[in-house]
A and B are shown apart, each in its own frame.
Chain A
Amino acid sequence: MDLIERNVLTLWAGLPDYLRSTIWILIVTVAVILSVAFTTLWERKVIGWMQLRKGPNRVGSVFGLIPGIFQPFADVIKLLVKEVVVPSQANKALFRIAPAITLIPAFATWAVMPLDPSLVIADLDAGLLYVLSLTSVGVYGVILAGWASNSKYAFLGAMRSAAQIVAYEIAMGFALVGVVMAAGTLNLGDIVRAQAGGVSQWFLIWLFPLFVVYLIAGVAETNRAPFDVAEGESEIVAGFHVEYSGIAFALFFLAEYANMILIATLTAVFFLGGWLSPFEGVLPAGHFLAQPGFHWLFVKLFFFLTCFMWYRATFPRYRYDQIMRLGWKVLIPVTLVWIAVEAALVHFGIGPWSTP
């Protein structure tokens, strides 16, 4: 056993760099896709429980233990065999590539995500900017889908989404300015390392207003309830993807959930110390609960992911002008004020961060 392990390790070390990173990319991508599949199931389950229902419980109850565990696969197969209808007046090429454009940035962002103390696919110094720029590219898929469908409802959805994302991106960017000021770096791994030393060092505490703003902006950015006016089914049928069917629709669905996982992970990385253990400094250093690792990141992102579903089950949908008001008149001023407060704190040396 030991021999096999050693052989595998030497083989792994002997691989050229690009092959190793390609393998990591494949692993992370497949993991994200599987997580997305099970996130859809988890959402239906959670909302089901909140509404005193059972949720999906038919497909693949393995020995009666986990009823409904294969529901995502059943859904995918169903959507794959359905016809993808392209409206005759649609702009065909754009109509077809729009779902891919929404999906690709959601996956590409994982390249700079610090998953583990030593594991990050691309240790980019401008990682935070990379994240911001890719999340803003995702909106193109929505806009193109709405425009290329040549349908009024889809177009309205696309316009709503564009205005909403531009508005909330500013709040999100400002919230991250605060994180950058506290960490003194744009590198995501270093941002996590800057929060080392126990829960009291997490940016959550000192940057709490920015954390709240980031979380709200994240929900808005992913077009999730209560900010899901881009598809608001009570007003504009299904918004930007009203003309999509089959697997093309599923790609939008996939992108939405991939973005949810992404925002949940980013919140954990920026404000809750990513892969750092919450028991650091409380328990002795050798204790297994005090070790940093991917499992802590997973716990944190799972919490936020569940929060996304909780919001959806709890809040009624915002009215569109109220969304705009919240973004421009509430969230942005809050971030501006807190950045000023933080600058003062940094200047007078109050707080966990040291002036470099």
Chain B
Amino acid sequence: MLVQILFYGFSLLLIAAALGVIVTRNPVHSALCLVVAFFTSAALWLLIEAEFLAIVLVLVYVGAVMVLFLFVVMMLDINVEEVRKGFTRHAWVGWVAAFVVIAQIVGVYWFKGLGIDATVGAAPLPEGYSNTRALGEVLYTQYVYPFELAAVLLLVAIVAAIALTMRRRPGLKAQDVAKQVAVRREDRVRLVKMPAERRDEGSAP
């Protein structure tokens, strides 16, 4: 009963947040709605005892990706009129995509040919079953090569992204931090030894 209340509560929140992403006019609000959507879907995953996936969703998307997203969106000075130009002209692409996604969801629900029966919930897992451990065991034995391939692919993407965006602008006066850090006292301060001078008795200081 409690699980059902939680499920419908989080589902409603998820749908509301997802609508908010596309409906709100302010891009920062959209990004925040997306954060809420990630959170609520993580909560839904927790309800089917997929705690590893739920936590990783929050860690990766909320903790890293959306922070950068917000970072960029907040700094942009978006001209909403400019972005909306051609909205009606290209709307049919959106309609087609939406239709395909809805058809897929309905298909999973109605046709049981895939072996997925969406009309009943996930079977409760036995006591002491660890989702994290099970995932780790499969990921590092059966799927170790695909897993490592994906890792290498991501690494290549990182290197490519850096290589594409890094450019040396001529005439840029950047500080060489390594040089600054390597500075020793001897380079900057010169201690001069000189005999102490006696102040004359009569003269004013």
Contact = CB atoms under 8 A, between A and B. Distances in A.
B67 A139 contact: yes
Interface in B124-157: 130-133
Interface in A96-141: 124-126, 129-130, 132-134, 136-137, 139-140
Given A136-B62, A165-B67, 16 more contacts: A124-B51, A125-B52, A125-B130, A125-B132, A126-B52, A129-B52, A132-B59, A133-B62, A134-B58, A136-B67, A137-B63, A143-B70, A147-B28, A169-B64, A186-B132, A325-B177
Given A162-B67, A165-B67, A147 B62 contact: no
Contact of A163 (B71, B74, B131): B71
Contact of B74 (A140, A155, A321): A155
A94 B36 CA distance: 13
Contacts of A147: 28, 70, 74
A351 to B, nearest CB: 21
Contacts of A165: 67
The 7 closest A-B pairs by CB, nearest first: A136-B63, A133-B59, A133-B58, A125-B132, A125-B130, A129-B55, A126-B132
A159 interface: yes
Nearest to A322: B177
Contact of A126 (B35, B55, B70, B181): B55
B175 interface: yes
A166 interface: yes
A125 B51 contact: yes
Q: Which of A136, A139, A321 has the most B CB atoms < 10 Å from its CB?
A: A136
Contacts of B63: 132-133, 136-137, 169
Contacts of B35: 140
Interface in A137-162: 137, 139-140, 143-144, 147, 155, 158-159, 162
Interface in A5-21: none
B172 interface: no
Contacts of A140: 35, 62, 67, 70
A126 B51 contact: yes
A190 B52 CA distance: 17
Nearest to B2: A18
B67 A166 contact: yes
Interface string B45-75: 0000001100110110011100110110011
Size category of the A interface is: 20 to 34
Interface in B168-205: 175, 177, 181
Size category of the B interface is: 20 to 34
Contact of A125 (B58, B133, B181): B133
A158 B132 CA distance: 34
Contacts of B71: 143, 159, 162-163
Contacts of A159: 71, 74-75
Nearest to A94: B32
Given A124-B51, A140-B67, A143-B70, A129 B56 contact: yes
A94 B52 CA distance: 30
Contacts of B68: 162, 166
A159 B63 CA distance: 15
B66 to A, nearest CB: 8
Nearest to A324: B177
Contacts of A143: 67, 70-71, 74
Contacts of A144: 32
Interface in B60-99: 62-64, 67-68, 70-71, 74-75
A130 B54 CA distance: 9
Interface in B2-58: 28, 32, 35, 51-52, 55-56, 58
Nearest to B136: A186
A274 to B, nearest CB: 20
B55 A130 contact: yes
A321 B59 contact: no
Given A125-B131, A159-B71, A321-B175, A166 B64 contact: yes
B40 to A, nearest CB: 14
A76 to B, nearest CB: 30
Q: Which of B32, B55, B74, B177 has the most A CB atoms < 10 Å from its CB?
A: B55
Interface string A179-193: 000000010000000
Contacts of B58: 133-134, 137
A233 to B, nearest CB: 22
Given A321-B175, A322-B177, A129 B67 contact: no
